[in-house]
Amino acid sequence: MPRVDFYIVAEHNLPYRFVCHLANKVRGEGYDIYIHATSRDEALTIDDMLWTFQDISFLPHSLVDSMEARDCPIIIGWQGQDRLPRQVLMNLSATPPEPMDGYERIIEVVPSDPDFRRPARQRYKDYRDKGLELYSHNIEPAHA
């Protein structure tokens, strides 16, 4: 069963910069990542950020509908797209992709805005009901 980490970020909008730093950290641990965005527009925003969030390096990544996606360690997908298997799911959407099996770890990034927190609480309950190992991390603004 996968471990589920909720990162509660002290921002009202989705903190894309934090998402990039977290992806960098997870990649540094040797994991391949599937980032699940809400829409293709959001996926494109994340794609742009992964190219530019660090001056001296970048994270190899691809959109799920790209020809080179299968070979990339980080894939960015969105609602309605088939996902490619990876070790870690980073969910930015109100609902995770189905099926949920096959992941070693699930990361939920949750801004502090109530519109993001309410669905996150429901996902937390759903994961708990499935017997998954749950952790919460409160991220201060300086780290986001």
* pLDDT at 67 > cutoff 60: yes
pTM (two decimals): 0.90
pLDDT tens sequence across 10-66: 876 678 889 999 999 999 999 999 999 999 999 999 999 898 887 777 788 889 888
- Confidence at 90, pLDDT banded by 50, 70, 90: very high
What domains can be seen in the chain, in order of their start residue?
Answer: 3-139 (3.40.50.10110)
Q: Which two tokens stand for residue 18?
A: 């934090």
- Confidence at 142, pLDDT banded by 50, 70, 90: low
